[in-house]
Amino acid sequence: MNRLKLFLMALVVAWLVGCENSLTEAPQQSLDQDLALNSASGLTAAVTGLYDANQSANIAGGNYNVIAEIMADNVVWKGSFTTYQDFHNRQITPDNANTVGWWTDSYVAINMANVILDAVGKINDPTLTTAQKDIWRGDCYFVRGMTYFELARVYGKPWNFTPDNSHLAVPVRTKAVASSSDFENLPRATMAAVLTQVESDLQQAVTLLPATRTDRRATRYAALGYLMRMELEKRNYAAAAGYAQQIMAGGFSLTASPYGPFQTKFSTESVFEIAHTTADNPGVNAGQHAFYAPTSLAGRGDIVISQSYVDAFNRIITPTQQAAITAASGTATDQRRTLLLNGLVANTSATVKFYRTTNDDNVLNLRYADVLLTRAEALAEQAANLAAVPAEVYTLVNTVRKRAILVSGGTSNNALIEYSAASFADKQALIDAILLERRVELAFEGDRFYTLHRRGLDMRGLAPSDNRITFPIPQQEKDANPSMVQNPGY
């Protein structure tokens, strides 16, 4: 029997019997879900399980960040785990444990969402309000949409690889697997079909989820954030800018210091983050803290800053700006160097963005600085030329820069490190500056790989469409599913 099928069914058994060990037991052939999912308490526990699934180090709890970074050019992998080394070397195999884990844990989360959606539609509990049911449904649509998006952009070629986006991505499963009769060996859907499903799910999440939540789970702004990312991936800049604008109306703000979003869980900058505690973090050998933090902060220090990133960081203040600062007897200090980059020594120092010695750093999945820079990029891309770029673009980028870079002596309000239209020769130079700001600001948060990927830019000598960049379909899935087609090159 298909290993994923067994895992999905065993997962449902675990919910119903409440036994931690049931994932290692043979699944039942049929399951009476009414025993566990016909009450408010049962569904509450199930939704908790849905978010717990996203804490997995294989997906949103770690590898969305870790693997994406080591595939790109901001960091160098120095650790001993060969499965991660293979990603850094772009020598991934179909039996790589991290590839298998990303795939399997994603479909576990998707099946959880499908099971809960099915149960919410059938439940007959007079204590449950329609509003509560809608929130649970919104949770499911958000997690399912987010997970399909993250699957599609690593197991499929980039958007527009084929003119009609008919190239293959991943199977789309929207039916709950609760018994052997429910399971189907689905073929891979096209990239167009997967992102259509993503958009549908996230649009429903926007409608159903509240704007704020005390339980720190996904809000409508988290769903808008993933819609923004999807449209940016598709280079639909008008839509991406529109979603960013909606998020900007949500009351978010940059923290006073660049360290703020990492020092304070669920800060004013947090649009969506994966919560970790000392009890449920990925541990000392997995997740972002373990791999990024130096040994002095209870990490492994396996990921260090690359020379390419150091060179990029040193360009963040332009020669013209530096000359003006020097002429004004001023000094510019980029706090990101001192607070987050541990000295910024290439091939030696690790970032200290993720610093908690108890390994319980939350994973910032989307923060406000990303939203500002996305809107800036999207607005700039829509302009016909530099003269047509709206003033808002400069305001957005300067807001991020002024939070990070402090100018002392002879100046005020950091005016000498601000951009204006006069700073650039043409529109492309402006866009390059926005991408540089994005690279420095969002470094080590998983963004760099996807920026290069969506823009067709060089990834340490490889194009994003290169077979070595696209993840292989796990061999166990290929062997078990006769409908499954492997990616080229594997």
Q: Is the pLDDT of residue 16 over 90?
A: no
Longest dimension (CA), the chain: 77
Averaged pLDDT, 263-283: 92
What tokens does 41 get?
């308490």
- Residue 453: per-residue pLDDT: 97
Indicate if the alpha-carbon torsion angle 426, 460, 318, 405 is positive or negative.
Answer: positive
Residue 15: in which H helix or E strand, if any? helix 3-17
Query: Domain residues of the chain, as ranges?
Result: 1-209+463-477
* Residue 178: predicted pLDDT: 82
Does the domain made of 1-209+463-477 have the CATH classification 1.25.40.390? yes
Could you write out the DSSP letters of every residue in 182-249?
G---PPPPBHHHHHHHHHHHHHHHHHHS-S--TT----HHHHHHHHHHHHHHTT-HHHHHHHHHHHHT
**pLDDT computed for residue 32 by the predictor:** 45
- Indicate if the alpha-carbon torsion angle 37, 278, 351, 434 is positive or negative: positive
* Residue-wise pLDDT tens digits, 448-477: 999 999 999 999 999 999 999 999 999 999
Contact 79, 73 (CB under 8 A): no
For residue 400, give the nearest of 367, 432, 352, 355 by alpha carbon: 367
DSSP per residue, 33-96: THHHHSSHHHHHHHHHHHHHHHT-TTTTTTHHHHHHHHHSSSEEE-SS-HHHHHHHTT---TT-
Average pLDDT over the chain, rounded to whole?
90
More confident residue, 65 or 32: 65
Residue 181: the pLDDT is: 81
Cβ distance 372 to 399 under 8 Å? Answer: yes
CB-CB contact of 158 with 465 (8 Å)? yes
The pLDDT score that the predictor gives to residue 13 is: 44
Alpha-carbon distance 64 to 358, whole Å? 21
Q: Yes or no: say if 312 and 337 are a contact pair by the CB < 8 Å rule.
A: no
Position 20 pLDDT exceeds 50: no
Euclidean distance between CA atoms 449 and 75, whole angstroms: 11
pTM of the complete model: 0.92
Residue 412 pLDDT level (bands cut at 50, 70, 90): low
Average pLDDT over residues 378-386: 98
| Cα-based torsion angle of the residue sequence 368, 374, 375, 378 in order, rounded to the nearest 10 degrees | -170
Res 367: pLDDT: 97
**Mean pLDDT lowest among 151-155, 198-202, 273-277, 465-469:** 273-277
How far is C-alpha 490 from the chain's CA centre?
Answer: 26
CA distance 274 to 61: 6
Left if phi > 0, otherwise alpha if psi is -120 to 50, otherwise beta: which for 128? beta
Tokens of 374: 């996305």
Instruction: Taking residues 477-490, report their average pLDDT.
Output: 96
Query: What burial class does residue 256 get, using C-beta atoms within 10 Å of its C-beta: 0-12 exposed, 13-18 middle, 19+ buried?
Result: exposed
Model confidence over 59-87: pLDDT tens digits?
999 999 999 999 999 999 999 999 999 99
Closest CA to 9 of 101, 137, 108: 108
The neighbour count for residue 19, using CB atoms within 10 Å, is 12
Percent over 70 (pLDDT), the chain: 92
Amino acid identity at 38 = N
